[in-house]
Amino acid sequence: RRRGPLPPGPLRWPLIGNGLDLWCKHPWKVYARWAQEYRSDILSLQIPGATIIILNKEHVVQDLFVKRGLIYSDRPYTAFFEKLGISRIFVFQDYGERWKNNRKAFKRYLGTETESVIRSNELLSCRRLLISLLTGNDHQVDFRKAVNDFFLSATYGIPPSQQDEHVALTQESAVLLKRLMIQGLVFEFLPFLASLPTWFTAAGVTRGVGVVGELVDKMMRTPFESAKADSIQGARRVSVAGRFFRFDKELSNISNDEEISIIDVLGTSYAAGTDTVVALVNSFALAMVLYPDIQRKAYTILNSTLRGRLPALKDYGTIPYIDALVQEVVRWNPIAPLGVPHVLRQDDVYKGYILPKGSICIANTWNILHDEERYGPNIDEFIPERFLNADGTLNETRAKTDVAFGFGRRTCPGESKSLSLYSMSVWLSTALRDIAREFAWILFASVLSAYELFDARDENGMPLYRSKIEYTTEIVSSAPHFKCQFRLRPGITRAMIHEAVGPVD
């Protein structure tokens, strides 16, 4: 029995409540419209067994996810994920001891100690991407390969020639996981199904449960075992896992629990990092072909600094236009437009509304990143200049895009500080680093300084039009599939690109 109203929201139907409202295209846009219709920055939906709370403005998200983070940091469907055997990926764990230990371990394994390892691999995989773009006929395939290359070589020291097996495993797990996520809703809200014997669930849901657990285990364990075997054989490949073994010198010193912890943490980083970064770089390529004037300007500015050479790590954060470009790619079509849901641990009261325990709370990140008060006019257009002053320096008063990486205690650990702060202290970083943004910076600068992207076509071979572009409606929202031509820039030769994979700083 509630002692107050829920936040406003659309009309609820008997039995199914707002069940039908959940199945819509680009729900982040629908929620933004409702916020205006109901004149409220906080909305609610009800479905059988759950209340969904939507937070449409940053101040509301700060009040709840940040200031009251202690009670707003659980995750939904954790029982189901446990059953699937994938709760080892700590994105899916409730806020508690196990999660805290994993976050700490993440910081330890991917912190300052391994910074130089991660950095050198960032540059190498970007340079290898430039080679694949010379001959490839689908840049999206090459981009995915480059991101996998970065994660597999930086994390486990697996060379490109041995990566295919691991990439196939990851993709297989991702497809199955996506399918089971939807079925997870059924398990969560009709829990009796979870205790039915396997043969009863004719759709094979529970069979899928066993399979995905095994697949995820294989996906996380196989590359780790390969790094371990390398270390035993004395191979000196530079990687996060490799350093871990070298620190501990004798492999027998590593306890079983410790080994499981590092497998899970590195596996989580690989699982959570690849799809998000692939989506980001695809969004970059799309922006470049839809906005050729911006591509031209970015190249001119890059070229005036680099003077015909390819970018190196020392350039990171020294060319404000590229900093602004990264910010705008993150903002324009955020790849996690509704973030990752948080769950409320106990009943709460906010602005006179009752928010019930167990509510699934969603931050409408897309709406926050499309707020003209924060980012200026023409908010749906791709305009890096919104992050710059008239003299081309970074506009420090402009809102940052950190909200794209989540909030409070669950914020994305791959991202830790704003780019402007980073550029002030490039080589003096603290515990966690900004993996996603730095990799994006190097990749965007490398691709733009070596290639012109032009003649973009959709899947039917028709020219792309800005007004027709639609991102996918998924937890990681991606640009549509398209193809375009890549032409070498004046002064950049094939030989130069091949040579560049050798000396990387």
What letter would DSSP give residue 112? G
**Of 34 and 90, which CB lies nearer to ligand HEM in the complex structure?**
90
Can residue 335 be called a binding residue for ligand HEM (CB under 6 A)?
A: yes
Q: How far is the CB of 338 from ligand HEM (least distance, A)?
A: 9
Min dist CB 377 to ligand HEM, Å, is 24
> Measuring CA to CA, how many Å separate 229 from each of 241, 270, 386?
11, 19, 49
Listed residue (476, 457, 454) closest to 468, CA to CA = 457
Nearer Cβ to ligand HEM, position 17 or 273? 273
User: The tokens 């399979």 sit on which residue?
Assistant: 211
Q: Which residue has the tokens 């285990």?
A: 217
The candidate with the shortest Cα–Cα distance to 309, out of 450, 133, 136, is 450
User: In a 3-state reduction of DSSP, which class is residue 27?
Assistant: helix
Dmax (CA) for the chain in angstroms is 73
Which of 243-251, 265-273, 294-302, 391-399 is the region at the interface with ligand HEM (rule: CB under 6 A)?
A: 265-273
* Residue 301 in the binding site for ligand HEM (CB under 6 A): no
Residue choice 17, 184, 267, 339 for contact with ligand HEM (CB under 6 A): 339
Q: Answer yes or no whether residue 219 interacts with ligand HEM by CB under 6 A.
A: no
Which range, of 9-17, 205-213, 339-347, 480-488, touches ligand HEM by CB under 6 A? Answer: 339-347
Q: Establish if 273 lies at the interface with ligand HEM (CB under 6 A).
A: yes
- CA dist., res. 450 & res. 41, Å (int): 45
Q: Which of residues 51-110 bind ligand HEM (CB under 6 A)?
A: 90-91, 103
Q: Which stretch binds ligand HEM (CB under 6 A): 33-41, 184-192, 310-318, 410-418?
A: 410-418
Give the DSSP letter string of 30-89. HHHHHHHHTT-SEEEEEETTEEEEEE-SHHHHIIIIITTTTTS-B-TTHHHHHHHT-TTS
Q: Provide the minimum distance between the beta carbon of 100 and ligand HEM in the complex, in angstroms, as a whole number.
A: 9
Nearest distance in Å: CB 367, ligand HEM: 14
The binder of ligand HEM chosen from 105, 123, 412, 419 (CB under 6 A): 412
Q: How many residues bind ligand HEM (CB under 6 A)?
A: 26
* Amino acid at site 260: I
According to DSSP H, which parts of 351-488 are helical? 365-369, 372-375, 419-424, 435-450
- Cα 503 to Cα 449: distance, rounded to the nearest angstrom: 17
Helices then strands (H, E): number in the chain? 18, 8
Q: How far is the CB of 14 from ligand HEM (least distance, A)?
A: 33
Residue 268 engages ligand HEM in binding (rule: CB under 6 A):
yes
Give the residue, chosen from 413, 416, 445, 452, that forms a contact with ligand HEM under the rule CB under 6 A: 413
> Applying CB under 6 A, which part among 221-229, 407-415, 452-460, 484-492 lies near ligand HEM?
407-415
Write down the residue that tokens 């982040």 correspond to.
28
**Which residues, at least 6 apart from 411, have a Cβ–Cβ distance to it below 8 Å?**
405
First-to-last alpha carbon distance for the chain, in angstroms, is 65
d(CA 447, CA 322): 12
Does position 111 interact with ligand HEM (CB under 6 A)? The reply is no
Judged by CB under 6 A, the chain residues 350 through 389 that form the site for ligand HEM are none
Q: Which of 60, 64, 277, 287 binds ligand HEM (CB under 6 A)?
A: 277
Query: Taking contact as CB under 6 A, which single stretch among the options 244-252, 409-417, 479-487, 494-502 is the one that binds ligand HEM?
Result: 409-417
The letter for the amino acid at 403 is V
Q: Give every strand in the sheet of 342-343, ordered side by side.
A: 42-47, 50-55, 360-363, 342-343
Any known ligand binding at 412? yes
Contact string (CB under 6 A) for ligand HEM, positions 25-54, x = contact: ------------------------------
Q: How far is the CB of 240 from ligand HEM (least distance, A)?
A: 10
Place of tokens 């480059």: 146
Give residues 435-474 in contact with ligand HEM (rule: CB under 6 A). 435-436
- Binding region for ligand HEM (CB under 6 A) out of 4-12, 217-225, 250-258, 264-272: 264-272
Binding residue numbers for heme: 412
**Positions that interact with ligand HEM (CB under 6 A):** 90-91, 103, 268-269, 272-273, 276-277, 280, 335-336, 339-340, 342, 404-407, 410-414, 435-436
Binding residue numbers: 412
